Structure 1
Amino acid sequence: MSHLKTIEQRLLWLSHWMIHNANHLRPKEDGIKVGGHQASSASMVSIMTALYFHTLRPEDRVAVKPHASPIFHAIQYLMGNQTREKMEAFRGYGGVQSYPSRTKDIDDVDFSTGSVGLGVGITSFASIVQDYIAAKDWGGIPLGRMVALVGDAELDEGNVYEALQEGWKNDLRNTWWIIDYNRQSLDGVVHEGLFARIEKIFDAFGWDVVRVKYGALQRAAFKEPGGERLRAWIDTCPNQLYSALTFQGGAVWRKHLMDDLGDQGEVTALIDRRSDTELAALMENLGGNCVATMAEAFDAIDHDRPVCFLAYTIKGWGTPIAGHKDNHGGLMNKTQFAAWQQHMGVPEGQEWEPLATVKDAKALQTFLDQAPFFANGRRRYSDAVIPVPEIALSADREMSTQAGFGKILDDLSKGDSDLAARIVTTSPDVTGTTNLGPWVNRRKLFARAPRADLFKERQIPSTAKWEFTPDGQHIELGIAEMNLFLLLGAAGLSHSLFGKRLLPIGTVYDPFVARGLDALNYACYQDARFMIVGTPSGVTLAPEGGAHQSISSPLIGMSQDGLAAFEPAFVDELAVIMEWAFAYMQRDGEGDPDERTWLRDETGGSVYLRLTTNPIEQPVKRHDDAFVQGAIDGAYWLRKPGPNCEVVLAYQGAVAPEVVKAAGMIAEARRDVGVLAVTSADRLNAGWTAAQRARADGNKAARSHVETLFDPLPRDCRIVTAIDGHPATLAWLGAVKGHQTFSHGVEHFGQTGTIMDLYRHFRLDAASLAKTALA
Structure 2
Amino acid sequence: MTTLNADTTPSLAASSTASTGLDPTPDVATLRSIATRVRWLSTAIVDAANRGRPNVSGVKAGGHQASCASMVDIMVALWFDALRREDRVSVKPHASPVLHAVNYLLGDLDPKYLPTLRELGGLQSYPSRLKDPDTVDFSTGSVGIGATAALWAALAHRYTAAHFGDTPPAGRFVSLLGDAELDEGAIWEAVADPQVACLGELLWVVDLNRQSLDRVVPDIQIERLQGMFAAAGWQVVTLKWGRAISELFARPGGAQLQQRLETMPNEEYQRMLRAPGCEVADRLLAGQDGPALSELVGSLTADELAAIVRDLGGHDLALLTQTFADVDEHRPTVVFAYTIKGRGLPIEGHPNNNSALLTAEQMSQLAGASGTSLDDPWRTFAAGSREADLCLERAQALRREPTPTCRDLDIPTSLGREHRTAGSTQAALGRLLADLVRDAPGMADRMVTCSPDVASSTNLGGWINKTGVWSATQRRDWFADDGQRVLRWSEVERGRHIELGIAEVNLVSLLGELGTTWSRWGQRLIPVATIYDPFVSRALEPWSYGIYAGGQSILVGTPSGVTLAPEGGAHQSITTPSIGLEQPNCVAWEPAFAQDLEWTFLEAARHVGVPGGTSAYFRLSTRPIDPALANLPDDPDLRERRRRHAIAGGYRLSSHPAGADQVTLVGVGAIMPEVIEAAQRLADQGVCAGIVVLTSPDLVFRSFQQRGHVSGGHSGDILGTLFPAHAPAPLVTVHDGHPHTLAFLAGARGDRIRCLGVSEFGQSSGLADAYRLHGLDAASIVDAALGLTGH
TM range, smaller chain: over 0.9
2:330, 2:608 → 1: CA distance? 32
User: What are the residue-to-residue correspondences of 1:659-670 with 2, within 5 Å?
Assistant: 659-667=675-683, 669=685
Q: For 1:38-93, what per-residue CA distance to the aligned partner results, in whole angstroms no more than 9, with x for missing partners? A: 11110000001101111111111111101111111111122222233332121122
For 1:55 and 1:690, the matched residues in 2 are separated by 51
Counterpart Cα distance in 2 of 1:314 and 1:382:
44
Letter in 2 for 1:733: L
Give the SS at the match of 1:514. coil
Structure 2 match to 1:753? 765
Task: Find the partner of 2:68 among 36, 41, 53.
Answer: 41
Q: CA deviation at 1:494?
A: 1.3
1:340 aligned to which of 362, 366, 376? 366
Matches within 5 A, 1:632-671: 632-639=647-654, 641-667=657-683, 669=685
Q: Distance in 2 between matches of 1:392 and 1:87?
A: 56
2:404 paired with 1:388 = no
Structure 1 residues 614-659: Cα deviation after superposition (integer angstroms, max 9, x where no partner)? 0011035445333111111111111254424221111111111111
1:412-450 deviation line (CA, Å, top 9, x unaligned):
134572211121111011100100111111111112333
Residue 545 and residue 713 in structure 1: after superposition, are their counterparts in 2 closer, same or farther (change >3 A)?
Answer: farther
Q: 2: CA distance between counterparts of 1:710 and 1:692?
A: 10
> Counterparts in 2 of 1:600-611, with a 5 A limit?
603-611=612-620
Match of 1:407 in 2: 431
Corresponding residue SS for 2:732: strand
- The partner residue of 1:422 within 432, 441, 446 is 446
Which residue of 374, 377, 402 maps to 1:351? 377
CA contact (8 A) 1:707 1:737 kept: no
Deviation per CA, 1:445-500: give whole Å up to 9, x if none.
1123332332233x251211111111111111111100000110111111222332
> Which shifted more, 40-49 or 487-496?
487-496
Seen in structure 2, the aligned counterparts of structure 1 residues 557 and 196 have a Cα distance that, compared at 3 Å, is: same
CA distance in 2, matches of 1:668, 1:53: 80
- Contact 1:127–1:173 (CA<8 Å) still a contact in 2? no
Per the alignment, residue 679 of structure 1 pairs with 695
* Aligned position for 2:23: none
* Alpha-carbon offset, residue 227 of structure 1: 3.1
8 Å contact kept, 2:528–2:556: yes
Per the TM alignment, residue 94 of structure 1 is displaced from its structure 2 partner at its CA by 1.6
SS of the residue corresponding to residue 188 of structure 1 reads: coil
Q: What value does the CA root-mean-square deviation take over the aligned residues? A: 2.3
SS at 1:410's partner residue? helix
User: Which residue among 366, 375, 392 is the counterpart of 1:369?
Assistant: 392
**Aligned counterpart, 1:770:** 782
Q: How does 1:156-555 map to 2 (within 5 A)?
A: 156-168=183-195, 171-259=198-286, 267-355=293-381, 362-371=385-394, 375-377=398-400, 380=403, 382-389=405-412, 390-414=414-438, 417-457=441-481, 459-555=482-578
Does structure 1 retain, via aligned residues, the 8 Å contact 2:167–2:521?
no
Structure 2 SS opposite 1:475: strand
Amino acid paired to 1:658: E
Do structure 1's residue 113 and structure 2's residue 122 form an aligned pair? no
Q: Is the 8 A contact 2:450 2:497 kept in 1?
A: yes
What is aligned with 2:735? 723
Change (3 A) 1:315 1:249: farther
Q: In the alignment, residue 318 of structure 2 is paired with which amino acid? A: A
Task: Determine if contact 1:11/1:74 at 8 Å carries over to the other structure.
Answer: yes
Cα distance between partner residues in 2 of 1:258 and 1:514: 54
Gaps of 5+ in 1: 589-602
Q: Is the 8 A contact 1:85 1:95 kept in 2?
A: no
Match of 2:704 in 1: 688
The answer for the alignment partner of 1:593 in structure 2 is none
Match of 2:121 among 80, 88, 94: 94
Q: Aligned in 2, Cα 1:354/1:754: closer, same or farther, shift over 3 Å?
A: farther
Aligned to 2:9: none
Alpha-carbon spacing, 1:317–1:692, altered in 2? closer, same or farther (3 Å): farther
CA contact (8 A) 2:117 2:124 kept: yes
C-alpha distance 544-58 of structure 1, shift in aligned 2 (>3 A): same
Length-normalised TM-score, structure 2: 0.91
Q: Which moved more, 1:611-620 or 1:122-131?
A: 122-131
How high is the sequence identity, in percent, across the aligned residues? 39
Whichever residue aligns with residue 356 of structure 2, its letter is G
| Superimposed CA distance per residue, residues 558-606 of structure 1 (whole angstroms, 9 cap, x where no aligned partner) | 0111211100001111111111112111331xxxxxxxxxxxxxx2211
Aligned 8 A contact 1:392 1:576 in 2 = no
Q: Which residue of 2 aligns with 1:579?
A: 602
Q: 1:348 to 1:16 in 2, by over 3 A?
A: closer
Moved more, 495-504 or 90-99: 495-504
* Cα distance between partner residues in 2 of 1:692 and 1:81: 44
What CA deviation, in whole Å up to 9, does each residue of 1:359-378 have, x standing for no partner? x6543222112217853347
- What runs of 5+ residues in structure 2 fail to find an aligned partner? 1-27
Distance 2:390 2:658 in 1: 76
3-state SS, counterpart of residue 729 of structure 1: helix
SS in 2 for 1:565: strand
How many residue pairs end up in the alignment? 750
In structure 2, how many angstroms separate the alpha carbons of the residues matched to 1:644 and 1:49?
73
Give how far 1:379 is off: 6.3
Change (3 A) 1:691 1:220: farther
**Alignment equivalent of 2:719, drawn from 701, 706, 713:** 706
Q: Is the 8 A contact 2:708 2:720 kept in 1?
A: no
* d(CA) in 1 for partners of 2:260, 2:418: 75
1:65 aligned onto 2:88: no
1:473 is matched by which residue type in structure 2? R
Letter in 2 for 1:289: H
The whole-number CA distance in structure 2 between the counterparts of 1:183 and 1:394 is 63
Residue 617 of structure 1 pairs with residue 626 of structure 2: yes
Once the two structures are superposed, residues 723-745 of structure 1 have per-residue CA deviations (whole angstroms, 9 ceiling, x without a partner) of 11111111110111111111000
Q: Deviations over 1:729-765 (max 9, x none)?
A: 1111011111111100011111111111111111111
Amino acid paired to 1:709: L
Q: Normalised by the size of structure 1, how large is the TM-score?
A: 0.93
Pick which of 219-228 and 46-55 moved more. 219-228
Partner of 2:645: 630
